[in-house]
Amino acid sequence: MTRDQLTEKILDIKRQRGLTWGEIYAFALPLSPVLTVGALLGQMRLAPRAAAEVGQFLGLNAEEIKMLGEIPNRGTPMPPSDPLLYRFYELLMVNGPAWKALIEEEFGDGIMSAIDFNLDLGREIDPKGDRVRITMSGKFLAFKYYECDRDAAFAVSNE
Predicted confidence (pLDDT) per residue in 4-25, tens digit: 999 999 999 999 999 999 999 9
Q: What is the pLDDT of residues 35-87, one digit of tens each?
A: 999 999 999 999 999 999 999 999 999 999 999 999 999 888 889 999 999 99
The residue annotated as part of the active site, out of 8, 70, 113, 137, is 113
Task: Specify the CATH class of 83-142 in words.
Answer: alpha beta
Contact call for residues 39 and 71 (beta carbons, < 8 A): no
Per the CB < 8 A criterion, the answer to whether 42 and 81 are in contact is no
Fold type of domain 3-68: 434 Repressor (Amino-terminal Domain) (1.10.260)
90 annotated active-site: yes
Q: pTM value?
A: 0.78
Query: What stretch(es) of the chain map to CATH 3.30.1160.10?
Result: 83-142
Catalytic residue among 8, 70, 90, 104: 90
**Which residue in 74, 87, 131, 133 is the catalytic one?**
87
C-alpha dist (Å) from residue 73 to 9, 13, 58, 77, 90 = 18, 23, 23, 12, 23
Q: Establish whether 123 is a catalytic residue.
A: no
- Every domain of the chain with CATH number 1.10.260.40 lies at 3-68
Signed CA dihedral, 114, 120, 124, 129: sign only: positive
3-class secondary-structure state, position 51: helix
